[in-house]
Every structure is written in C-alpha cells, then in structure tokens.
Structure 1
Amino acid sequence: MRKSKKAATMSLVHPNAAGIDIGSQFHDVAIPPDRAEETVKSFKSFTGDLHAMAKWLTACRIDTIAMESTGVYWIPAFEILENYGFKVFLVNAREAKNVPGRKTDSNDAQWLQKLHQLGLLRASFQPTSVIAELRAYLRQREKLLDYKAAHIQHMQKALMQMNIQLHHVVSTITGKTGMDIIRAIVAGNRNPQELVKFRDVRCKNSIETMTAALTGNFKPEHIFALMQSLELYDIYNEKAEACDREIQAVLDRLQQNSIPPDQPLPKAKYRECNKNAPAFDVRQTLFNIIGVDLTQITGLGSYLALKLVSECGADMSKWPTDKHFTSWLCLSPGNKISGGKILSSRTRPSSSRAAALLRLAATAIGRTETALGAFYRRLATRTGKAKAVTATARKIAVLFYNTLRYGMRYVDPGADYYEEQYKARILGQLRRRADSYGFSLQPMEIPDTAIGVS
C-alpha cells in the first residue's frame, strides 16, 4: 500500500502521453483514462489505419508517444506520427520490461503509457531525415557489395572446376587482368597463348607460368556457371553505382545547407586504395559538409568516415560528453555494482553498426606504427586482442566525437611518443613503490663489454 501511494503521488512529466505496442498486423494504443471512454484501442497496420490512429490521438489531445523498436514494424507508424506533429519516443525494449505475469498487448501498451507519462523512458537516437536517407542508401550499398562478393567466390569456384589456376598467378581475379581473362573465356576464347596476352606488365609471374595456369579442362557446364556468375557480378556493380549516384545527390544537398570551411582541405595522411569506395571524391565532399577532415584520425579512411557519419550524424551535441557517446556505442566498460562491489565491468553486447566499424578500424590500426597502434599492441599483449580492439575502438570514438563536436585537429604523435610515455609511467610507479619501502631507484650503468665494445 505504501508503494502504491508513493507511485500515485509521482509527478507527471508527460501528462499528454500515449503508449503503443507495435505488432506486425495491428498496434495497441493506450491513452490516459480521462481522454476517452475507450482508453486502449487497436488499429491495423495498414496505412489508412495508421492515419486513423494519428487522427484519434490528435482528438484525444496527445502530444507525445512512446513505442518499442520492434523489428522494422515501427518505422511506418513512427514516420506517419511524426508527420502529424507528435513527439515520438522510440524506446529500447530492455528499458520497458513489463511486470511478470501480465503479458498481453493491451497491458504492454498501458505499461508503456504509464512509464512514459512518469518520464521513466529515454528516447533512442534518431538522426535527421537527410542523414537517415544517406544511411539507407549506404546500407543498401553494403548489401549489394556482400552479394557481389558471393558471386566472386562463384566465379573462382567455376575456374577451379576447370582447373584454371587464375587466383594463383594474379593478386585478385577482379583486377583488370583477371576480369579481362574471365570475359575472354566466357566469350569463347580457350587458347592459353591468347588468354595470356591480357597479362598486365605489372604482374609478377612470368608468361610461361601464367600460360600453364590458364591451361584447363573447359567443360560446358562450368563455362555456363562462370557466365552466370559474371553476369550477376556485373549487375551488382551496376546497382552499386546507382546507389553511388543517390549518395552523391544526398551529399550535394547537405553541402548546399552547410557553411563552407574557412581553410582548405589538409594533405592526406596516406594514399587510400579502397576498391569498394564510391567513385566520387568522398573526402573532399565530407570536408565541405562538416568542416573538418576526419581522415586525419588514425584508422579512418574517407569511406569509413562517411559510414560513421551516416550512422551517428554530424551533430554530436545530442551526447553531452564523449563518455555518453562511447556508452551509447557500448564501447565503455560496464558498471554492474552491488553491495559496493564491482560484479562485472564487461561492455554491453550491441548490434551497433558504428561500433562494428570502429572495431574494424581498431584492428587495422594494430599493424601501424602510430600511437594508437602502439597502444593496441601493448594492451593486446597484456589483456588479449579482443579487449585491445574494444579499447582502441573507444579511443577512436572519442577522437571522432571531439573532432565533430569541437573541431579538434588530430595530430598523431607516433609510436615512439607512446612508448616513452609508457616507460615514464612505469618508472614513476617503480620509484613510488621503492620509496614506500625505504629504497631509492637508481639507473644501472651498463659496461662497454656488455654491448660488444672491446
């Protein structure tokens, strides 16, 4: 009784709040009890019914709505309700768990409405409409590249079935030499001496080696499989190019609404060789939009930076600090504490695409002679590669946040700088421990004979 009285006296943060339980075929909507005789109403998921739901909520004087992110079923309802002027809170299902034993669709809607009315739900991050459009095109492009990669494997399998060892004599079968040879085979050319003429002068293998590799058993069923895989490969290339045109159009619109940067684009840190990147100049376009060069951050290429902007947006003010940003990415340590003891500090599991991109960049950084690369290698030796990847990805996320939020210009100090800092930190710890035991730490003189001087 005490708990129920305390809950009843809680102040209403959103008095005009509604809750919607999203389903694939219908949505249950709950409103405050003083707005209509029927406080829970069900609407079908058809477009006309969604407009009827929005008009009913307007008649009930609702101005804010909470709904769970259920699959992709929430997207049409979210967009239509936003067009009607409602402030829609898309909440994480983990934060809106229902009371055990009361699991029905109407109860879920009422529970969401009550939690939202009391201000106990947080809205998930939603980018602006233009960034959401850019994100949709980039995600579609990534799907097309995945499908294209499967057909590259199919082409290689068909070549192996004909005992054409093309992948052993060229670096990649999708390069100029490889594709010219494959197209010649599909066109009917089976002579190894003729096929080897497509060899680029930069190929390391000799003409004799390539002639031997291109001598095979050309059976019609394998030629047919190679032909179909090549056609599908070309189709996905065309579809990816169509996505590139749409992506460039969205970026052009963003450039028109942005303030031109005061300074010119700085010199690139390294030459990019990403074959899957769009054909236009992504680096210059991004610089014109956001005013800073994200590729100066170690590990971020222009295409990776574009994908990060499409996932997180360019406005970092939605997160008060970089700690909030890394926590949203699930890259910061957890704080599961009970009884004053830390039960677990593991990072939360996440399906965030931005976090996956940052982890990919962290893996590549581990092979570079940079400060972040030295940090990754030092941490991987001590705690393992998995934790080192997460920690390095968090550092990149902090740099990404500060660059977009405050216009910070990152300059890599180098691996030697990090190693010197690490050495100074270790020596400081050793000196403090020696002082606590009443000893002093002195450098050891190495005799000349120990370094090979006679």
Structure 2
Amino acid sequence: MEMLFERVAGLDVGKASVTVCVRVPGLRQGSRSSVTRTFKTTMGPLRVMRDWLVECGATVAAMESTSTYWKPPFYCLEEVMEVWLLNAAHMKAVPGRKTDVRDAEWIAQLLEHGLLSPSFVPSPPIRRLRMLTRYRVQLMGDRTREAVRLELMLEDASIKLPTVAWSVTPVSARVMLRAMIDGERDARVLAGMAKGKMRSKIPDLAQALEGHFDDHHARMAGAISDRLELVEHALADLDVAIRAQCLPWAHQIESLQTIPGVEEKVAQVIVAETGADMTWFGSAAKLAAWAGVAPGFYESAGKRTPTGKRQRNKWLTAMLVEAAGSVGRMHGKNYPAAQHARLSKRRGPGRAQLAVAHSMLVAVYHMLSKNESYRDLGADWLARRHDEAHTRRLVAQLERLGHTVQLDSVASLQSPKNVSGKARRADVPAHQQMIHGSVTAAILLPRERGVECIST
C-alpha cells in the first residue's frame, strides 16, 4: 500500500495519560519501525512529548476525539506540527486484544497510509467564541429549568399565575412574586401591581393569585427567584462578552441576519461553529452533512436505504431548527416560510423544520463563500417550479401521442403584433387548446393525418 506520510505519530488519549506511537523508516530499505511511549497529560510531560516528537521528525500526528481529553495534547502539538483530530467511529481496529499501545499503533498505521480524514478544528479565536456561545446555550437551559421549577412550586400552592401571564418571567409576574415572597397575600393588591398590557387582565389575575401560598412556599420561591436572577445577570454579561468577541466577524454576522428567521444570536452561533470559513468544507452538501441536517443513506448492491439520524453538530443544528421554527410562523411571506408550510402538510412540522434548516445552511455556505447578502427566491417559487414541471409533463405526454406543441406566454399573446395569431388561435377547437398557469399551448397536429396544421 502506498505510503503518504513518512514520519507519523498516533496518540491514544486518556484522562490521565496519553500513549504515543511514532512510526519512521527502518534500517532496511522499505521497512518501518515504531517506538511507543506513555506520558502524563499535565503540561510538563506534554512538553516533553512534543520535544520528543520533534526530535523524531514526525510531521503529522493524529488522535481520537475522546470527550474533552484530546484538547491539552492537541493544543500543545498544533504549535509545531500538523495535528489531525479523528472521529472514533471512522476507525475500527481489527478484532483482538485491545490496549492503549495497540490503539496508538493502529492510528499511526492508518495515518501513514492516508486512510484517515481529519475533523474540523477551528482556530483559537473561533474556539474562544465557541466556548462563550455554548455556555450561553447552557445558561439558557438553566434559566428555563428554574422557571419550570418555580411554576411547579406555584402549582403546589394553587397559584395559577402562569395561566394568565403565560409564564413567571414577565416583569409584572416577577413583581407580584416578589411581593408574595415579602409577605403580601391579598390577591387584589397583588393583581393591581400589573404593568402595561397586563393591567387589562387584572380580574383574571386576582382569581389566579388566590391560593394557599404560605411561608414555606415563600422560602422556596425566594430561593428559586434568586437563582433565576443570577442566571439572567450572567446571560446579560455573556451577551456583552460575545459581542466583543464577534467584532472581527461583524460583517458576516450582519449579512447572516438577512436570512429570514436568523437573528443575532443564531448568526453568532453559525460563525462560532463553522468558523465563517467555508473553504474547509468544500461544498454546501458537505457542510450540511457535517452539521447533521442532510439525510443519510446506505448504499449496497445498487440499493439506497435511509440510515436515520446522522452524527451532528448539536449546537449548530439546534439553533438552525429553532430559527426554522420561527420561520414557520411567518405564514408564507418568503421562500423558507413557504417551504415550511408546504412540507408541514405532507411530512409534519418536525421534518419541515429540519428541511428548512438545511436550506438555511446551504444559503449560509454560499453567502459566506461569496461574501453576498441573502436573496430570497420568493414565496411563490415552489408553486412556479411545480407549474413549470407540470407543463413539461403535459407537453411530453402530447408529444408521445404524436402532436407538436408550441408554448407562448400570456403577455406575448396579448401584444398587438400577435393579434392575428390570437384570431387564428380562436378558430382552434377547444379540445386542441391547453391553457395552464401563465402559458397557452396550441397543439399542432401532423398533416399526414389529414388535419390542417395551425400556425401560431
């Protein structure tokens, strides 16, 4: 088998140690020799490992993506050589006794023959931005969980505030809850604290705030509310930090927000997860497959079968699906909304959101690779494409029956220079004319059948 890399290193990474196998040319021509050593994953031993690999002349190193344990050795080695991060599912060792040494040797052997493909690892600035955006998603999950805990606790006290205020997070609801925690129990007084549009619901609020809210509930509500406020303050600080980190990609983020359903936070996640550099992916199809929004299939003996869900970038996919859900509430005002409405009827909202997310990511690829803004196809694009395809099918069917069909647009038929043509066409029997959508087709019958051809 052809040797693509002469001096390589394979790393089997664990939490406390890393096993390294270096493969270099042997003493005899055409032979290969390997040396294996084990190092701790603290910074001192990792620097020793790096110096040893440089001394051995290794030019490429590869390691599996093992939880987050791959990061220290990867970051240490990327300064001096090319490092590949591998998907563990793509490299299965032959059956036999499994050890860290054999895993490292297997990785090195596959690497030297070019049988591995590296995963996408962004540059350090993108990695820092990615840590911020992912932590924000986790904090948003914490906020949702704390709000749910507060609602369940209020249910235990027979307080139905969320049924009127839709949640416990609006300003009016927070003011009422704080007053209840401080000792206020009069439902009418609490309802009178409503603000803005919520004041129109004061009678309903008064009924919803009647219950048996006691000191125990007040203690629990206070603890949960304090936790909720801490999370919200952390989210506000994090938003400021993310905006500052996104300044080098301000143009790309502003351009991405022209896509329907993509707001600032979604655009920031797209930049953080893809690096805003489309050269790594090569095509929109590969980007969609990497993100996990493209359908997977398995082909064998000429048969293609679906493989279900693919491995995906859950952070990017979740944001795109959320943006697709907001597009579905636009009621067909643009192409993604029309696509969502069309697919929801046939495949359900879940499949529709994933398909719209795929279309969004394809648009992202072309926008970032060509430095262009979003250009919407129009809400009627799918209908027009369906009409054109239907017209082609009808024309093909008539041609198979031995007819010749010429199509003229309605606009051209109404121009003055076509008046005579329209007059001649008026003489055509109804069964020999086909009007569909925005085109009119005149069927020309062959002369050899004894029927006069109709000039258009």
TM-score (norm 2): 0.81
The residue correspondences of 1:89-238 to structure 2 (distance < 5 A) are 89-203=84-198, 205-238=200-233
- Aligned partner of 1:16 among 7, 12, 35: 7
> Any idea what the Cα deviations from partners look like across 1:275-308, whole Å, max 9, x if unmatched?
xxxxxxxxxxx33xx3852111122112111111
Q: Is the 8 A contact 1:431 1:441 kept in 2?
A: no
Q: 1:169 to 1:429 in 2, by over 3 A?
A: same
Q: Is the 8 A contact 2:253 2:264 kept in 1?
A: no
> Any idea what the Cα deviations from partners look like across 1:184-203, whole Å, max 9, x if unmatched?
11122222232222112312
The gaps in structure 1 that reach 5 residues or longer are 1-6, 256-285, 446-454
Q: Is the 8 A contact 2:253 2:271 kept in 1?
A: no
Q: Is the 8 A contact 1:134 1:310 kept in 2?
A: yes
Query: AA paired with 1:334?
Result: G
1:353 — aligned with what? 315
Q: Is the 8 A contact 1:30 1:113 kept in 2?
A: yes
Query: AA paired with 1:399?
Result: A
> Any idea what the Cα deviations from partners look like across 1:154-207, whole Å, max 9, x if unmatched?
221222222222112223321110111111111222222322221123126443
Q: Is the 8 A contact 2:328 2:337 kept in 1?
A: yes
- Aligned partner of 2:261 among 275, 299, 303: 299
Instruction: Please report the RMSD computed on the Cα atoms of aligned residues, expressed in angstroms.
Output: 2.5
Distance in 2, matches of 1:204 and 1:420, equals 48
1:26 is the counterpart of 2:22: no
Q: Is the 8 A contact 1:35 1:60 kept in 2?
A: no
Query: AA paired with 2:59?
Result: D
> What displacement does 1:19 show?
0.3
The gaps in structure 2 that reach 5 residues or longer are 28-32, 404-431, 438-456
> What displacement does 1:18 show?
0.3
The residue correspondences of 1:383-402 to structure 2 (distance < 5 A) are 383-402=347-366
1:56 — aligned with what? 52
The residue correspondences of 1:248-397 to structure 2 (distance < 5 A) are 248-252=243-247, 254=248, 286-287=250-251, 290=252, 293-344=255-306, 348-368=310-330, 369=332, 370-397=334-361
> What displacement does 1:372 show?
1.9
> Any idea what the Cα deviations from partners look like across 1:379-407, whole Å, max 9, x if unmatched?
34344444433332221111011111102
**How many residue pairs were aligned?**
402
Distance in 1, matches of 2:297 and 2:228, equals 47
Query: AA paired with 1:194?
Result: V
1:419 — aligned with what? 383
Distance in 1, matches of 2:282 and 2:24, equals 36
Distance in 2, matches of 1:387 and 1:164, equals 38
1:78 — aligned with what? 74
> What displacement does 1:137 show?
0.9
> What displacement does 1:71 show?
0.8
> Any idea what the Cα deviations from partners look like across 1:34-92, whole Å, max 9, x if unmatched?
58997011112222222221122122122220000011110111111223x12110011
Q: 1:109 to 1:409 in 2, by over 3 A?
A: same
> What displacement does 1:98 show?
0.8
Q: Which 4+ runs in 1 deviate beyond 4 A?
A: 33-38, 383-386, 437-441
Query: AA paired with 2:134?
Result: R
Q: What's the secondary structure of 1:66's corresponding residue?
A: strand
Distance in 1, matches of 2:436 and 2:241, equals 65
Distance in 2, matches of 1:206 and 1:441, equals 62
2:434 — aligned with what? 442
Q: What's the secondary structure of 1:419's corresponding residue?
A: helix
Q: Is the 8 A contact 1:50 1:80 kept in 2?
A: yes
Query: AA paired with 1:16?
Result: R
Q: Is the 8 A contact 1:51 1:80 kept in 2?
A: yes
> What displacement does 1:335 show?
4.9
Query: AA paired with 1:238?
Result: H
% identity of equivalent residues: 28
1:404 — aligned with what? 368
> Any idea what the Cα deviations from partners look like across 1:195-226, whole Å, max 9, x if unmatched?
22211231264433322222221211111110
Q: Is the 8 A contact 1:98 1:111 kept in 2?
A: yes
Give the number of the structure whose alpha-carbon radius of gyration is greater.
Answer: 2
Query: AA paired with 1:180?
Result: V
Q: Is the 8 A contact 1:292 1:403 kept in 2?
A: no
Q: What's the secondary structure of 1:42's corresponding residue?
A: strand
Distance in 1, matches of 2:48 and 2:116, equals 26
> Any idea what the Cα deviations from partners look like across 1:94-115, whole Å, max 9, x if unmatched?
2221112242211111111111
Q: 1:205 to 1:116 in 2, by over 3 A?
A: same
Q: Is the 8 A contact 2:8 2:24 kept in 1?
A: no
Q: Is the 8 A contact 2:157 2:217 kept in 1?
A: yes
Query: AA paired with 2:358?
Result: R
Distance in 1, matches of 2:208 and 2:297, equals 58
Report which of the two has the higher share of strand: 2
Distance in 1, matches of 2:433 and 2:358, equals 35
Q: Is the 8 A contact 2:7 2:24 kept in 1?
A: no
Query: AA paired with 2:245?
Result: V
Distance in 2, matches of 1:30 and 1:296, equals 49
> Any idea what the Cα deviations from partners look like across 1:90-144, whole Å, max 9, x if unmatched?
0111222111224221111111111111222111111111111011011111111
Distance in 1, matches of 2:285 and 2:311, equals 17
